Each structure stands twice: as C-alpha cells, then as structure tokens.
Amino acid sequence: MSKPLDAEPIQLHDRFRLGARETWRSALGLIYPPTCIACQAATGEPHSLCAGCWSQVRFIERPFCDRLGTPFAVDLGQPLLSPAAIADPPVFGRARAVAEYEGTASLLVHQLKYNDRLELARALGGMMARAGAELLADADVIVPVPLHRWRLWWRRFNQAMALARAVSAGSGVPCDPFLLARVKHTRRQVGLTKAQRQENLQGAFRVPAEARARLEEKRVLLIDDVLTTGSTANAAARALLRGGAAKVDILAFARVVKEL
C-alpha cells in the first residue's frame, strides 16, 4: 500500500517540533540548571532530590502492616497486620505512604502546603504513584481529601488536590475531586489527641447528591499529603462508603509512625 502524499511532510514537521523542543529544554538547562527540590543544590535531573536529601528520607518499604502501611522491624515473609490494625481496624481498606514524616519528607510537605511550592506536587506525586502501585492497580477513581471552602479561600489551593492530579497523570487513573465535599469547618488537627481528632471530624465530609451516581460501586483511592492518626482518612472513607463506594484505600506522601 502506498503512503499518503502528505505523510512524509507531517513526519518531518513532527521531528522538527520534537527537535526544537529538546533544543529549548537544553538551552533552559544551561541557563537554569536543575536543582534539588528540597535544598536547591545542583542535581543531574530536574524535579528530583540531591544525594544528601535523598539519604535523609526514610522510605517506607516492605515489610509493613498490610492495612496501615506502618513499617515492621523484621520481615516474616508474609503479609501481616500490626497490633494497632488488629486492636482498632480502620474504616479504609489499606493505607500506603512514600516515607515517614520526618527530615526531608516533612520539609517537602511543609513547603508544598505553606510555601506555595506547587511545583513540588509533580515530584511528590510521582513518588506516590510508585509507592501506591498496588492500590492504583485496584482503583477506579482518585479522590483528594477536600478542604472546607473557607480554608481553601485562606490557603488558596488544596495540596491534596495537587498531589491527586499528579498521581492521576502518572498512573492513568482518573481523578474526580467532586465526589467528596468537606461540609464542616473543623479546627486544625495539629496538637489534638486521636479522640479529639475523631470528635472534631464527625460529620465533616459528605458525598454530594449529584455525585452519588458517579461514585456507586467505585473503588476509590483517597489522596492526602500526610497520614497521622488516620482520623481524617477514616472520616473521609466512611463518608465515601456511605455514599456508595465499594471500597476506599488511602495513599499519602508521608505518614507519622511514632504516634501510631
């Protein structure tokens, strides 16, 4: 079969565009060399960590609790539940996180959340997509933990939304931020005990009536920046399950381990 007459010109045009794009990126790299997303030291790749900052991240890898995702000190060669997961099972199915919330990981979360470093969402979301690969394989839709409208107005953006979009882009799982709403303006969780957090979050989340059809029987992957006691994740998961979701798993960039 003969090629269309305009096939070759189109291919040449595409090659030219790709070549011009790579040339532009190379020129930008010379003018603005890539730097570490945490400390701004020079790096070989953009949107990455330098060796020093990388070494300060305590990545959470197996062995860990199959429900809570908290690391175990010893690998017994099979999926196990932690005492915390057995004594107080979470509402959600499984939780996973990239790293423990300390050192470089806590710095990155703080910079994203409070310093308007929205460009960090791409790098952190990429790490989350890798850490949560097994959850993403089972998910139908990604939902960020929502902010109340007053807090969103004050903060100007939702860091969970930025991370959810990055995870969605890296995994291909669609993101629907309107499946869950925060309808109660709660006080900040920092400094509260687990019991106080649970009380603070009662009735905080709701699935909007117009979203129920889209949520029905969907396997949801809920996205947040930090998982602390699990109170927010439980409250959000409970609302999603009551709204019709088949199951809810949790994926965060960092999680507090010492308090659990």
Supply the pLDDT for residue 191: 65
Residues 35 and 103 in one domain: no
Residues 76 and 194 in one domain: yes
Residues 93 and 216 in one domain: yes
Residues 46 and 81 in one domain: no
> Shortest CA distance to 69 belongs to which of 258, 259, 217, 255?
255
Supply the pLDDT for residue 9: 47
> Would you write out the chain's pLDDT as a tens digit for each of its 260 residues?
444 444 444 455 555 454 545 554 444 444 567 889 999 898 888 888 999 999 999 999 999 999 999 999 877 767 789 999 999 999 999 999 999 999 999 999 999 988 888 889 999 999 999 999 999 999 999 999 998 777 656 666 789 999 999 999 999 999 999 999 998 777 666 667 777 777 777 888 999 999 999 999 999 999 999 999 899 999 999 999 999 999 999 999 999 987 44
Residues 163 and 45 in one domain: no
Residues 73 and 185 in one domain: yes
Q: Distances in Å between the alpha carbon of 146 and those of 63, 79, 140?
A: 31, 31, 18
Residues 79 and 38 in one domain: no
Whether residue 24 lies inside any domain: the answer is yes
Whether residue 2 lies inside any domain: the answer is no
Residues 108 and 147 in one domain: yes
Supply the pLDDT for residue 33: 75
Count of other CB atoms within 10 angstroms of residue 210: 8
Whether residue 223 lies inside any domain: the answer is yes
Domain range spanning residue 32? 9-55
Residues 112 and 216 in one domain: yes
Domain tally, the chain: 2
3-state secondary structure of 97: strand
CATH number of the domain that 92 lies in? 3.40.50.2020
Cα(54)–Cα(196) distance, integer angstroms: 35
